[in-house]
């Protein structure tokens, strides 16, 4: 029932491509903020990003409305920022906040911001206050759900949820933020065909459980 139609996917892909072309055309060499001395990432963070993503420019937001960026994977931050700049991510919060704030960023600035936030000390998870719920979440996170199918998170995000390159680190993230994103993917409000498929069948209870478990993870590199 939740299976997206091929046509819808094609339309989304076309829209994404169109946005990409339009977006890259309009993002040409605009400085933000107006002070040209403020083009370096640190100043940008201080001037703009820090208002939501951690006042002291450490990338650790207070409100779960905004994600923690400290220690996030550099490639992922850059990819998302470029998507946001070209309106290729249209979940409600992306529209309300990031579409506008990112639209004038240059590629160089985006790379600088990604490097800056990824180098900030990351936040690790905390022991769960609801071990039973976390245990159920662990099962979903590591093995997925057989029927109706929910893909296991660990496959891409790693056992400790540190992510890799284009796959985001989830460890230490605000639980409220993670839940919202899962709902967005489930409801197809946030573009990412892979994630939309992976969680197409996920229930609210399963979201609560898996987020509870992710909140306990360290994000440490896999030992192999």
Partner 1 sequence: MRLLRLGATAALWLVAGSVLMLAAQPARAVPPFARQTGLACEACHTLPPELTPFGRRFKLNGYTLTTRPPLVNDIDDYKKNTLWLTDLPGIAVLAQIGYDHYDRAPPDTGNPYPAHAQSDTYQFPDQFSLVYAGAVSDKVGAWLQLTYNGEGGSVGVDNIDIRYSDHTIDNKFVWGVTANNYVTFQDVWNGFGSYTIPNFNTVTLYQVGVANAGTTGPIINTFGPGIVAGLGAYLWYDDSFYLEFSEYHSSFATGGTPVAESSNLAANGGVLDKFAPYARFAYEKDWGYNSAEIGVNGMYVNWIPSNSYISAQQILAANAAGNSYTPTQTFNPGAVNRYTDLTVDWQYQYNGQHNIFGFLGHVTHERQQNSDQLVAATFTSPQGGPIYSNATDNLTQFLVTAEYFRNRRFGGLVSFTRTTGTNDPLAYGGDGSPANQYETFELDYVPWLNVRFLLQYDAYQVLANNQNPFTLSNNTFPNSPGFPNVKASNNNTWVLGLWMDY
- Which residues make up the interface to partner 1 (CB under 8 A)? 30-38, 42-43, 46-48, 50-52, 55-57, 62-65, 95-97, 99-104, 176, 180
Q: Is residue 41 within 8 Å of 115, Cβ to Cβ?
A: yes
- Indicate the residue among 14 and 62 with the shorter CB distance to partner 1: 62
- Distance of closest approach, residue 58 Cβ to partner 1, in angstroms: 9
- Indicate the residue among 16 and 104 with the shorter CB distance to partner 1: 104
3-state secondary structure of 76: helix
The string of DSSP letters for 121-185 reads PPPPP---S-HHHHHHHHHHHHH-BTTTTB--THHHH-TTS--BTTBPP-TT--HHHHHHHHHHH
- Distance of closest approach, residue 48 Cβ to partner 1, in angstroms: 6
Give the Cα separation of 130 and 52 in Å (integer).
Answer: 29
8-state DSSP, 55:
T
- Indicate the residue among 52 and 145 with the shorter CB distance to partner 1: 52
- Indicate the residue among 154 and 210 with the shorter CB distance to partner 1: 210
Query: What distances in angstroms separate CA 121 from CA 47, 111, 115, 150, one per listed residue?
Result: 20, 18, 12, 32
- Indicate the residue among 64 and 144 with the shorter CB distance to partner 1: 64
Give the Cα separation of 33 and 13 in Å (integer).
Answer: 32
Give the Cα separation of 223 and 144 in Å (integer).
Answer: 21
Query: What distances in angstroms separate CA 109 from CA 96, 104, 141, one per listed residue?
Result: 21, 10, 35
- Indicate the residue among 106 and 155 with the shorter CB distance to partner 1: 106
In terms of C-beta density within 10 A (0-12 exposed, 13-18 middle, 19 or more buried), how is residue 3 classed? exposed
Site of tokens 């440490």: 220
- Distance of closest approach, residue 179 Cβ to partner 1, in angstroms: 9
- Distance of closest approach, residue 93 Cβ to partner 1, in angstroms: 9
- Distance of closest approach, residue 85 Cβ to partner 1, in angstroms: 10
- Distance of closest approach, residue 161 Cβ to partner 1, in angstroms: 21
């Amino acid at each position: 029932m939740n299976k997206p139609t091929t046509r819808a996917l094609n339309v989304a892909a076309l829209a994404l491509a169109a946005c990409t072309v339009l977006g890259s055309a309009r993002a040409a060499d605009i400085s933000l903020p107006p002070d040209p001395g403020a083009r370096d990432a640190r100043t940008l963070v201080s001037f703009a990003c820090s208002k939501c993503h951690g006042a002291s420019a450490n990338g650790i937001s207070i409100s779960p409305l905004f994600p923690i960026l400290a220690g996030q994977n550099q490639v992922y931050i850059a990819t998302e920022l470029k998507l946001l700049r070209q309106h290729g991510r249209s979940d409600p919060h992306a529209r309300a906040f990031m579409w506008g704030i990112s639209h004038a960023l240059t590629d160089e600035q985006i790379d600088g911001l990604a490097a800056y936030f990824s180098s900030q000390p990351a936040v690790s998870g905390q022991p769960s206050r609801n071990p039973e719920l976390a245990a159920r979440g662990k099962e979903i996170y590591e093995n997925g759900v057989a029927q109706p199918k929910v893909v296991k998170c660990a496959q891409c995000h790693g056992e400790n949820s540190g992510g890799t390159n284009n796959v985001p680190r989830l460890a230490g993230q605000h639980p409220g933020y993670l839940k919202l994103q899962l709902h967005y993917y489930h409801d197809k409000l946030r573009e990412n065909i892979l994630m939309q498929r992976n969680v197409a069948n996920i229930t609210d209870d399963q979201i609560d459980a898996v987020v509870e478990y992710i909140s306990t993870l360290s994000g440490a590199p896999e030992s192999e």
